[in-house]
Structure 1
Amino acid sequence: MRLAIDEAQQALGRTSPNPAVGAVVVRDGRVVGRGRTQPPGGAHAEVMALREAGAAARGATLYCTLEPCAHHGRTPPCVHRILEAGIRRVVAATEDPNPIVSGRGFAFLREHGVHVEVGLGADASASLNRPFFTLMREGRPFVILKAAASLDGRIAETSGRRTFLTSAAANRHAHCVRAQVDAIAVGVGTVLADDPELTARGIFRERPLLRVIFDRRLRTPPDAKVLSTLSAGPVMIVSTPEASRCAELRKPLEDAGATIDASGDGLRETFQRLAAEQQIGSLLLEGGAAMHTAAWDEGLVDYVRLYVTPHVLGNGGVELLSGRGFSSAALFERRVESLGPDVVIEGYVHRAG
């Protein structure tokens, strides 16, 4: 199962909205086939492993990190290929949380004489695919709060003023993170202060990166850098019906390539629509402080990635969570890594109850 999990890890960031799955075929104690989920529309991990195994799959054991699918989607059901290959035993880490699939793959295999075991490597498998599990169970993307802060917990010197905090090493790391998510969201204050491109520079992506700007009054400049990088992915501006009715505000942004969402929805409703309509399974929330605070207060933050720099900005600086600072004790499965002069602290958010 460790080898199957390794395969799944290599597929991370390339399979959305599908989960990253790994599979290994073992016969007589020897690995005869390995596979991982291909980009959407491509073969699933089980099929890739069976192809590599060929005739050696007959009578073998298939290890997979998620329940094999039993429905027709973009590809045929994996359970049919498993039967055709002559697999005798399937060891899966977890049941698929997708209600279309959940339990049906295992039931089909058992009905056709395949011995099925579930649970080996379950925690590691679930950790790999937390975005997919969140999407299936809560109907919204897995939200990662990303911020850079000084030693005294400030993200900028003063509100509305751009502040450079992190090193080149931390910036490269942040771009790698962007390459693994489906969408990035910021508030208009971040656009006005920093004028970011919101791209994963220099990193290949299988799927265009959706950039979302929460801008109730349509203050985003039509010449903002994010609108000059549409080749990296679309830009959606979430506004209100009132602001969107003003053609003087709306039309220049539409002419620049932005899509205006006039729903006036809050964070939770917008995230749910992104999941339902655009299959956004993971979202990187980059700021600013008001966005971070709103998402934190609504219980929408699933993971925190905080870059801490060896600087002190003082009392005039902007606080990360508008006075609601939290400690690493609020996180589990924590990781701490040095990136040049900076440190990144990250972990999953623990919510009481």
Structure 2
Amino acid sequence: MSVMRRYIAISERLRILKPLSKKSLVSKAVKTQDFMANPVFPNDARWMGAAIAESRRAVGNSGVNPPVGCVLVTAGGHLLASGHTGVAGVPHAEAAVLATLDDMGRSAIRGGTAYVTLEPCAHHGKTPPCADALIATGIARLVVAIKDPDTRVNGAGMQRIAAAGIEVCLGVKAKEAHDVMRGFINRIQYNKPLCSLKIAASIDGKIALADGEKRWLTGPRMRRYVHLLRSQADAIITGIGTVLADNPQMNCRNAGLEDLSPPVFVFDRLLRIPSDAALLQSQHPLTLFCGEGAPAHRREELGAAGCVIVVLPNDANGKPDVEAALRYLGETGVNNAFVEAGTGLVTSFLSADAVDQIYWTQSDDILGADALPAIGGLTPPAGTLSHCSPALHRTTTDTAAINTVAISVENKYIQSHHQMIGGDRLIILQKQPADRGKAQA
């Protein structure tokens, strides 16, 4: 049976990428004993917390691999070493930590405990199995936060370590560890990355003046926060409207994090990107998502200039299908996608139910009724402001609350966080679990 093409990627030579079959996504978990039934010691949560802190340092920088943290503790309860997954996923966290041990350290870890945020791998890839490396240390216990959903592991790592006589404990601070690895888990389970959307809006819910004049809406502290989010992504997605209006760089410009800027992907249906666009000077090859009607000569010109051209099928509105784009990113190993775009593309992502979390950043500016709205077609019914979180209910004109409710009214997102950064508001919305399962199925 033939498989329908979802997209074609064109770079130096034609590549046809096909979606993974459903069979390839079926979990083949190794039958294991109930490691969650093993005893948890008083300090396990403390040391796992340290491992989770390490894992956060690898978010957005671990390539196709998960951002894992590892901590080694002696039998006497003293910290011996800690580390996380390396750049581009190599070395794995366990290997990175073990490599720091000298002869004295290797002696000290015998009878101790290893804390890892994700089950150690049990297969040969770019590196040998981490399960074997941990067994060789002579540890007495292994404490794991969550089981690896990758079908090559999925219980096999813990089973191998337990078979070597090491006590394995599973489930310590599982939720916290899962939150750090949501992108990887999302890609493994659904073959697409975790999709985060950032919106910078005025107090009246607008993103730009009617005349299109460029201006900063949020202050420098909030912009530094957004650049941090960029550094933690594997891909930044924007639209041709933003490119033509602002000529953005879409990189991370926080001091010390410049090298962590991820590749940029632009929705450009007709390949209108100018030859002098700043994005064409990026340290990474630029990927352009175009429609089936994009001129052939533009595909050739931009491909010759080093761009990757991905031809997407059209959605019901005749625009490049955002769901197909996310599938493409998933199959190329992207764990975390970060969308920064204008009203049109933002609305397309939300309408397609493709967004997992929203970072709403809001200033106290008022741009007026004629300004461009942050999200097209979302207006709250009268009286819904009363349902908003008290933290947001500062004044009746605080339309951060109104827009939060406008999204939440769809019963798709719940507010998970709110804080002030400088003089601006940050509101984080998460897709509700039941809705996420429906959307990702």
Given the two structures, how large is their TM-score scaled by the length of structure 1?
Answer: 0.91
Distance 1:134 1:198 in 2: 24
Are 1:157 and 2:184 matched, yes or no? no
2:129 corresponds to which of 72, 77, 80: 77
CA distance 1:180–1:115, shift in 2 (3 Å): same
How far the C-alpha of 1:274 sits from its partner, in A, is: 1.7
How far the C-alpha of 1:83 sits from its partner, in A, is: 1.1
Q: Which residue of 2 aligns with 1:47?
A: 95
1:146-185 alignment runs, 5 A limit: 146-158=198-210, 160-185=212-237
Distance 2:200 2:247 in 1: 16
1:234-245 alignment runs, 5 A limit: 234-245=285-296
Q: Is the CA contact (8 Å cut-off) linking 1:222 and 1:256 kept in structure 2?
A: no
Q: Which residue of 2 aligns with 1:293?
A: 347
Say which is worse superposed, 304-313 or 43-52, in terms of deviation: 43-52
Q: Is the CA contact (8 Å cut-off) linking 2:236 and 2:250 kept in structure 1?
A: yes
Q: Which residue of 2 aligns with 1:102?
A: 154
2:181 corresponds to which of 129, 142, 155: 129
Are 1:222 and 2:222 matched, yes or no? no
Are 1:7 and 2:54 matched, yes or no? yes
How far the C-alpha of 1:255 sits from its partner, in A, is: 5.0
Q: Which residue of 2 aligns with 1:261?
A: 310
Say which is worse superposed, 53-62 or 280-289, in terms of deviation: 53-62
Distance 2:59 2:324 in 1: 27
Distance 1:186 1:159 in 2: 21
Distance 1:289 1:351 in 2: 26
1:196-345 alignment runs, 5 A limit: 196-201=248-253, 202-204=255-257, 209-227=262-280, 229-231=281-283, 233-245=284-296, 247=297, 249-264=298-313, 265-276=320-331, 278-324=332-378, 326-327=403-404, 331-332=413-414, 334-345=416-427
Distance 2:140 2:211 in 1: 63
Identity of aligned residues (%): 32
Partner of 1:295, secondary structure, is helix
Partner of 2:57, secondary structure, is helix
Q: Is the CA contact (8 Å cut-off) linking 1:145 and 1:303 kept in structure 2?
A: yes
1:64 corresponds to which of 116, 138, 159: 116
Distance 2:61 2:155 in 1: 25
Q: Is the CA contact (8 Å cut-off) linking 1:14 and 1:206 kept in structure 2?
A: no
CA distance 1:333–1:282, shift in 2 (3 Å): same
Q: Structure 2: which 5+ residue stretches go unaligned?
A: 1-47, 314-319, 380-402, 436-441
Instruction: State the aligned residue count.
Output: 348
Q: Is the CA contact (8 Å cut-off) linking 1:141 and 1:280 kept in structure 2?
A: yes
Partner of 2:251, secondary structure, is coil
Distance 1:261 1:196 in 2: 21
Q: Is the CA contact (8 Å cut-off) linking 2:122 and 2:130 kept in structure 1?
A: yes
Q: Deviations over 1:304-333 (max 9, x none)?
A: 111101011222122222022552656557
Letter of the structure 1 residue corresponding to residue 257 of structure 2: F
Distance 2:178 2:80 in 1: 25
Distance 1:161 1:124 in 2: 42
Partner of 1:65, secondary structure, is strand
Say which is worse superposed, 61-70 or 8-17, in terms of deviation: 8-17
Partner of 2:146, secondary structure, is coil
